[in-house]
Amino acid sequence: MLSLSKHLYRFAELLQLPIKAMDANQYRQLKEHGNVLDYASLDATRKILTQRGHAYLADRITRVLSNDKIEKPSLHNPPQDRFSDFYRVNLAAGDVEAIVSILFDHETEVVAINPSVADLTDRWNDLNEPG
């Protein structure tokens, strides 16, 4: 399923309309507000979900990585640098809650070895927070 922005870009291409690129301020605001996660968080989540046998949720993350990348402004980091990419996460609240629960369980098992896993759980938990 294509995101709305991809549909609009394809429609604009068909009509041969100019497509205005997002400026740095718009990009920053989009990253800071809304359901947005970075590549590293999504990739780490996908690996944990796969290791724990949650193929359906891992597939949902793969779809986000394939379809919901937020285009960078023209003067941003190199376009091919995926570690600076951000993605709009449009998952059902139940899927996000399940991911948070799985990450929390994972966190309790490995936090003594890898404290950064707590940050990953917090990022996902923030997706369902209002505001």
As a residue count, the chain comes to 131
12 domain residue, yes or no: no
CA atoms within 13 A on the CB side of 17: 10
pLDDT higher than 90, residue 31? no
Q: What is the pLDDT of residue 95?
A: 96
> Average pLDDT for residues 25-38, to the nearest whole number?
70
Cα–Cα distance measured from residue 2 to residue 5, given in angstroms and rounded to the nearest whole number: 8
76 domain residue, yes or no: yes
> Look-up: residue for tokens 């997706």?
127
42 domain residue, yes or no: yes
- H/E segment holding residue 81: none
Contacts 24+ apart (CB under 8 A), 50-55: 52/102, 52/105, 52/106, 54/98, 54/102
**Among 108, 109, 98, 103, CA closest to 122:** 103
5 domain residue, yes or no: no
Domain count for the chain: 1
38 domain residue, yes or no: yes
| Alpha-helical regions (H) of 1-54 | 4-15, 24-32, 39-51
What are the tens digits of pLDDT across the range 76-103?
Answer: 555 566 667 888 899 999 999 999 999 9
Q: 121: domain range?
A: 23-127
What are the tens digits of pLDDT across the range 52-81?
Answer: 999 999 999 999 999 988 877 666 555 566
89 domain residue, yes or no: yes
The residue type found at 86 is F
4 domain residue, yes or no: no
**Among 53, 44, 57, CA closest to 97:** 57
Cα–Cα distance measured from residue 120 to residue 118, given in angstroms and rounded to the nearest whole number: 5
